[in-house]
Structure 1
Amino acid sequence: MDFEEPLWTSAELLATCGGVGAQPWYADGVHTDSREVMPGDMFIALNGAKLNGHDYVADAFSRGAVAALVSEDIAVAEASALRLVHVNDTLEALRRMAAHARNRAPARVVGVTGSAGKTSVVQALRQALGRTEATHASMKSFNNYIGVPLSLARMPRHSRFGVFELGMNMPGEIAHSARLIAPDVAVVTAVGAAHAAGFEKLSDIARAKAEIFDGLKPDGLAILGMDHDWAETLRAEAKSCGRDYMTVSVTGNADVRPLRMTEHGTCSCLTADIAGTTITYKVGQPGREWVLNSLLVLAAVKAVGGDLGHAALALSRLQAEPGRGRIHALQMGRAGCTLIDDSYNANPLSMTAALRRLSLATTKGVGRRIAVLSDMKELGERSEEIHQKLARDLERFNVDKLIALGPCMTKVGRRAGVNTEYWELDKFTARNLAELLRDGDAIMVKGANSAGLASLVRELLDIADREMADDSADGMLGVRHAL
């Protein structure tokens, strides 16, 4: 951030939030987690169900915070010397900061929601739009009632584009966030059974995703991914809100669709019709879900007036985020393998996409396609029924072996007739997997966040690094790198 353009000043914050604070300051960043504070940042003390941010104000200042937004007295020595801004409610103050940041920046804003692919689309849009203009986007999965306003409050005043992810656990949550970000373009990637436990019917999930249309600007555009069972519900919701919409599909007729497409193990190449503009490009990640993501990205870029050519170049160089399909080449002794890290959460749509991606992975010789899957969560009373539908995917995507880290996935594998082993996830799992692998294998790891599969992937990569070091010491060449 340039010195002349701080993210927030004390005067601007006081005017926005109606707070009380005597000492002037300016800040280049905003955080609600004191561990992430860097010198020059501002800290917001939020009261959570388990933690009270006010207990960490001193820690934030020790890390270089220039100011803190608080609603309680701070019980530390020399508190009067700290740059504190007192408000009645720090969460409400954060929301006011978000609304102010949205209004002060001359940014065209894209909101993205959906049961699968939303984080990938957000990050791809950040790269696509950021090649030519100052672009701000949600980081990680900051998509809830705290993450959305925090992401908005971090938007620099000179931003030309803003891209924000909107998630939900219950009805009404997306509408609340959508009205805050006031998008010019609202993207719904897909609708599936994610968070089904919070809804009586699956059609209610589609309507909850459609709440993003509530926040659209009057001249805004809805972009609808159509490759799912609830596409017509989304279309009907957009019409009922009086919103213009653009449809996107990989397999059917739509405003945005492939004209020709070739899928490879490491990428996809296609010529597509982007609402009247024909463009040929490469997607630097494999899998049909990434083809859909790319079409949604190009549709949104066109809708906000971005540069389609530069966006296509960005898509050709995409690297998946950790846990979201990132591919690693592993050398385990003499066994060269492919690892697909899809460990960040799972729902029926994303699980099918991950298995399809595994089917595209190249195997060599006697190499196998191995899926390491934990049970999906938050599916409610229909959990077993929803899991069982994956049996067909295991069959049609030619999974040779399933390591099931849960009883539901064990039943799925056995129903599909796939060679299935039920394992408990423990400290030996990564080592056992490493010993199981043979030259030419492709292995994919996916499951609910609560299963902790990200740590399993890290342990596998650490084992590969150690073996590389040991082999190098013995005069052998070992390799592990992300593709």
Structure 2
Amino acid sequence: MTPPLFTLPAVLDATRGRAEGVAAEAINSISIDSRELGPDALFVAIKGDRFDGHDFVDTALANGAAAALVSEGRSAGPGRIHVADALDGLRDLGRAARARSRAFIVGVTGSVGKTTTKEALRTVFEAAGQTHASIKSFNNHWGVPLMLARMPENAQFGVFEMGMNAPEEIRPLSRMVRPHVAVITSIAPVHLEGLGSIEAIARAKAEIFDGLEPGGTAVINADHGQLQLLLDAAAAAGVANVITFGFARGVDWQILDPQTDASASSATILHGEESYKLGLAVPGRHMLSNATAALAVAHLAGIAPEVALRALAGLAAQPGRGERLRLGPDDKPLLVVNESYNANPVAVVAALSVFGQIEPAGGRKVLVLGDMLELGPQADQLHAGLADAVRDSGAERIYLVGPHMAALAAALPDAVMAGHFPSAAEAVNVIVDDLAYGDALMVKGSNGVGLSRLVSAITTRFGQS
């Protein structure tokens, strides 16, 4: 019989809470969304940027929640567990889940590739044992404690993604997760608006080292200009072991002879005297890098290389992060490469490199790029700097969305510019009307631009085979 996630006494003990008319004896799931409740759910009424969970406590209980964790004085009635602050209570549950766990825990951060690397690790760990991993991009001040609190006591492996928009955000998350391995995927010009420089970005990512368990290991991508800063930060944090990976010479896990086409990629991975053949069913040098990080961590976890390599061979692109949709007839589909979740200069160039290898099924190559957000004063310059990569992609019709994309529009030939729109809402109908079966389309932009609605509209219009 599977033990409960938490018994009611364990919840009360961890949160120092007071139960009011709670009939449930156990909690088996935890949610912050009253519309998405698992079995025997504890609804945690946190206050977000747009909504306050306390406004939805009654709805959550009516929808079947076993109990609601609420801030003292904010909600009254049966089914409540009162704590000083609901978000702090969620953090307490996360710490309690971590304290009882014997799992091998990995924390992942970086400017690009966090979610994909987390998924690569999840894929490998699931081939070796009971695995718990963050879902979607739940990597912030409420996402990490939520994912940690959901970790079953019998999990053998745990993988947690950690993100940030400013300094001193990753440090408390890492101290809560207490990983045995901390992975930094890359350092790139992301969040410049809040951090000001790429060096500041590297220092903020290096905060993950502060939560490493004694004797823990840092696994660091070497293919960027901030490697020494990260190595120095790891040493200052007292990190016992540091492992590097990437395409650079002399790293501990070196990617050799990378091969990539429109649908797959492969490489030889050199580690000491050993070499391994890595084959992925997803394209791109960046995917080889993410998978190599997972291979290195698997080695630290004691997972046999053949098990890890076999699992990585089945790694799939995630929605919004390179997912491919083939819409319509098999002989002449509309191919949509959905990269609508995230964008920064490094990620866009990598995606365009992959798009350059794609051949449409008799139609045109159409490119939709949305603004890269949070780049600060350098935003226009960084957008204009994409021009060469856009030209090399072979795109025949280019749509740009967002005010900063005006700088890129000015750097591109008029012959390929199909339109520039201030917002996704203004672009959707025009772009959908221009597409046809046989075309190949890539959609890439920061999530806040809203290009996911374009992908939804395309899927609705053209149908998914």
- TM-score under structure 2 normalisation? 0.93
State the alpha-carbon separation in 1 of the partners of residues 37 and 46 from structure 2. Answer: 15
Amino acid at match of 1:340: V
In the alignment, is the contact (CA less than 8 A) between 1:270 and 1:280 conserved in 2? Answer: yes
In the alignment, is the contact (CA less than 8 A) between 1:186 and 1:216 conserved in 2? Answer: yes
Q: Which moved more, 1:236-245 or 1:131-140?
A: 236-245
- Give the superposition deviation at 1:368: 3.8
Secondary structure of 1:445's counterpart equals strand
Partner of 1:56: 56
State the alpha-carbon separation in 2 of the partners of residues 416 and 296 from structure 1. Answer: 36
Partner of 1:249: 246
Partner of 2:394: 398
State the alpha-carbon separation in 1 of the partners of residues 111 and 59 from structure 2. Answer: 37
Which of 135, 151, 172 matches 2:168?
Answer: 172
- Give the superposition deviation at 1:430: 4.3
Secondary structure of 1:43's counterpart equals strand
- Moved segments of 4+, more than 6 Å: none
Secondary structure of 1:192's counterpart equals coil
- Give the superposition deviation at 1:252: 4.0
% identity of equivalent residues: 36
State the alpha-carbon separation in 1 of the partners of residues 329 and 369 from structure 2. Answer: 21
State the alpha-carbon separation in 2 of the partners of residues 75 and 91 from structure 1. Answer: 15
Which of 405, 408, 411 matches 1:409?
Answer: 405
Partner of 1:212: 208
Partner of 1:37: 37
- Give the superposition deviation at 1:441: 3.2
Aligned length: 460
Partner of 1:473: none
List per-residue Cα deviations over 1:314-337 (Å, max 9, x = no partner): 221122111110012233798533
State the alpha-carbon separation in 2 of the partners of residues 143 and 363 from structure 1. Answer: 36
- Are 1:382 and 2:378 matched, yes or no? yes
Structure 1 vs Structure 2 CA RMSD: 2.2
In the alignment, is the contact (CA less than 8 A) between 2:110 and 2:184 conserved in 1? Answer: yes
In the alignment, is the contact (CA less than 8 A) between 1:342 and 1:444 conserved in 2? Answer: yes
Which of 151, 156, 159 matches 2:155?
Answer: 159
List per-residue Cα deviations over 1:258-294 (Å, max 9, x = no partner): 2333212111122212455422131111111111111
Amino acid at match of 1:60: A
Partner of 1:127: 123
State the alpha-carbon separation in 2 of the partners of residues 445 and 451 from structure 1. Answer: 11
- Give the superposition deviation at 1:16: 1.2
In the alignment, is the contact (CA less than 8 A) between 2:261 and 2:354 conserved in 1? Answer: no
In the alignment, is the contact (CA less than 8 A) between 2:61 and 2:79 conserved in 1? Answer: no
- Are 1:306 and 2:309 matched, yes or no? no
In the alignment, is the contact (CA less than 8 A) between 1:39 and 1:63 conserved in 2? Answer: no
Alignment of 1:450-465 (within 5 A): 450-465=448-463
Alignment of 1:68-467 (within 5 A): 68-73=68-73, 79=77, 82-243=78-239, 244-274=241-271, 276-331=273-328, 335-364=332-361, 367-417=363-413, 419-424=416-421, 425=423, 429-437=427-435, 440-465=438-463
In the alignment, is the contact (CA less than 8 A) between 2:19 and 2:82 conserved in 1? Answer: yes
- TM-score under structure 1 normalisation? 0.90
Secondary structure of 1:93's counterpart equals helix
Secondary structure of 2:225's counterpart equals coil
Q: Which moved more, 1:153-162 or 1:214-223?
A: 214-223
Secondary structure of 2:64's counterpart equals coil
Q: Which moved more, 1:232-241 or 1:206-215?
A: 232-241
State the alpha-carbon separation in 2 of the partners of residues 227 and 33 from structure 1. Answer: 39
Amino acid at match of 2:420: W
In the alignment, is the contact (CA less than 8 A) between 1:115 and 1:349 conserved in 2? Answer: no
Q: Which moved more, 1:422-431 or 1:338-347?
A: 422-431
Gaps of 5+ in 2: none
State the alpha-carbon separation in 2 of the partners of residues 75 and 100 from structure 1. Answer: 25
- Give the superposition deviation at 1:232: 2.4
List per-residue Cα deviations over 1:345-371 (Å, max 9, x = no partner): 211121111111211223355x44322
Q: Which moved more, 1:21-30 or 1:292-301?
A: 21-30
Secondary structure of 1:461's counterpart equals helix
Partner of 2:46: 46
Secondary structure of 2:94's counterpart equals helix
1:168–1:74: structure 2 CA closer, same or farther, 3 Å change rule? closer
Amino acid at match of 1:128: V
In the alignment, is the contact (CA less than 8 A) between 2:282 and 2:316 conserved in 1? Answer: yes
State the alpha-carbon separation in 1 of the partners of residues 409 and 254 from structure 2. Answer: 34
- Give the superposition deviation at 1:399: 3.3
1:276–1:239: structure 2 CA closer, same or farther, 3 Å change rule? farther
- Give the superposition deviation at 1:17: 1.5
1:58–1:407: structure 2 CA closer, same or farther, 3 Å change rule? closer
List per-residue Cα deviations over 1:105-134 (Å, max 9, x = no partner): 111100000111101111121111011200
- Give the superposition deviation at 1:433: 3.0
Q: Which moved more, 1:85-94 or 1:216-225?
A: 85-94
Secondary structure of 1:373's counterpart equals strand
State the alpha-carbon separation in 2 of the partners of residues 369 and 378 from structure 1. Answer: 28
Partner of 1:16: 14
1:50–1:326: structure 2 CA closer, same or farther, 3 Å change rule? closer
In the alignment, is the contact (CA less than 8 A) between 2:424 and 2:451 conserved in 1? Answer: no
State the alpha-carbon separation in 1 of the partners of residues 87 and 431 from structure 2. Answer: 45
State the alpha-carbon separation in 2 of the partners of residues 438 and 410 from structure 1. Answer: 26
1:359–1:161: structure 2 CA closer, same or farther, 3 Å change rule? same
